[in-house]
Amino acid sequence: MEDLTLVIPAKNESECLPKVLSELKNFDCKKVIIIPKNDLDTLNAVKNFDCKIIKQIDDGFGRALIQGIKEVETDFLCIFNADGSFDPKYLKNMFNEVSSNCDFVFNSRYEKDGGSEDDTFLTLIGNRIFTLICNLFFRLDISDVLFTYVMGKTSAFKSLNLKRKDFRFCIELPVLVKFKKYKFISKPSYERSRLSGRKKVNELKDGFLILLCILTMFIFRK
């Protein structure tokens, strides 16, 4: 998988990220890590690892990924979490799919053989509802619209012109893939508990923003 780059947003992940990068040493792919410029603990924690470090210009999960995607030079890229929740054992199968069969692979916690150690009751219900709405509005045929364990062709990612700066990115990505008529598939994946620390998602605030994003994209188709 030399032609694959993992794009890893890492805000306040000085404890988790070194363990994640150590686990990834067994996988022959490049890593682009986006770290806020004032997050000195995380910057120092990974300075001895073989990866490209990008200092994040503006705050936000979506902004970090957009900045990281621009830096990718390989033909394929995969969004990858810095907290240990994404299991790299799925990378090879995802890579085989996007290199021969489709433009994007969306992993899902809610298909057979998938699952999550990290879902709370509130996030589970929210994820299910938002996925249902997106499938009704946009006919996505995806079972887990908010899960960002996604791999695809770099050229396709860059053509989407992604703009959402925060967790609305999670909705924008699959909807624009559908709008652009790219070929995509969904595969089961098991989400592990994060290694340490707390989630950065505010369920109520981010849930409201995600709902507004869905309605905006449905009405204006962009």
Task: Specify the pTM.
Answer: 0.96
The residues with which 107 forms a beta bridge, in sequence order, are: 187
Q: What is the CATH number of domain 4-220?
A: 3.90.550.10
Q: Would you state the structure tokens that stand for residue 200, as one six-digit string?
A: 């950065």
The pLDDT of residue 209 is: 94
Distances (CA, A) of 130 to 60, 171, 206, 209: 21, 9, 12, 12
Residue 204 has a pLDDT of 87
Contact 79, 150 (CB under 8 A): yes
Q: What is the pLDDT of residue 1?
A: 87
The confidence score (pLDDT) of residue 159 equals: 98
Residues in the chain: 222
By DSSP bridging, strand 104-108 and strand 76-79 are unpaired
Give the residues of the chain that fall short of pLDDT 70: none
pLDDT, tens only, 69-108: 999 999 999 999 999 999 999 999 999 999 998 999 999 9
